[in-house]
Structure 1
Amino acid sequence: MPTPTSPAELFRHGLRLLLDKDIAAWAALFAEDGVLEFPFAPEGWPRRLEGREEVAAYMRHYPDHIDLRDFPDLRVHQTTDPRTVVVEMRGVGRVVETGAPFDASYVAVVTVEDGLIASCRDYWNPLAVQQPGTDFAGGGR
């Protein structure tokens, strides 16, 4: 597949990789010094990951905990900065350990430079980790 050229295309490509459980390829979409932030992360969860390697290490075991099946309600908004998009979405699937449904809301602000994610601020809903049967919602805690 050719490399996505716009921030929106790159983000959508990343979602396909997450659904395919290809975490290594998803992490490779980040710049070597890219940053992934979780401003609403609950106490004890990481709020900032710096660099592709740290992002990859954090997300490596995500599919062992959450079986993502779809990203319904996806809305990608262009901004006045052509490098940046704002994304609204839900991630749905199941919690691997219990089989319980997983349904989390997200808003992400993503900036792309030179075809890679330079910055992603992921405002995921911390209430997802408080759903019955859900003990994991954001990567490799």
Structure 2
Amino acid sequence: MRCPFCGHDDTQVKDSRPTDDGSAIRRRRFCPACGARFTTFERIQLRDLTVVKTHGKKEPFDRDKLARSLQISLRKRDVDESAVERVVNSMVRQLESSGESEIPSKTIGEMVMNALKTLDGVAYVRYASVYKDFRAPEEFNEFVGTLSPTPPTDTDS
């Protein structure tokens, strides 16, 4: 593994352990050239996935991009990081086991929408406003109007 700090080709593994959900191996590494320490994650990849964009452009599937899109929608929301990681892992497993190597971006977008709907309603609306490309406040209001109301809590009085 190449050191991300100095580019040295031969780093040493100091500690390896599975992640909490068992979906990856977390490795603490040390670079003998510059003394830097860093962490890597090793995951099983069942097949190479390609995302087919709306206009036909193709690009390799990027797990980190998927996680970032969820994180952006969930910014400043009280959602456990491990719950987000479980959702991302589940979505990646679903995509890899679908039998398809080319996945339409629309499919991924719908999966993210469904995941956010269960994780956090506000994040769901945030993501939808970008994903559905709202152009006017009326479109936003119409979308929010389709959501089922959340029952009031004791703090709402």
**TM-score, normalisation: structure 2:** 0.22
Structure scoring higher RCO (CA < 8 A, sep ≥ 6) equals: 1
**TM-score, normalisation: structure 1:** 0.24
Quick check: which one's helix share is greater? 2
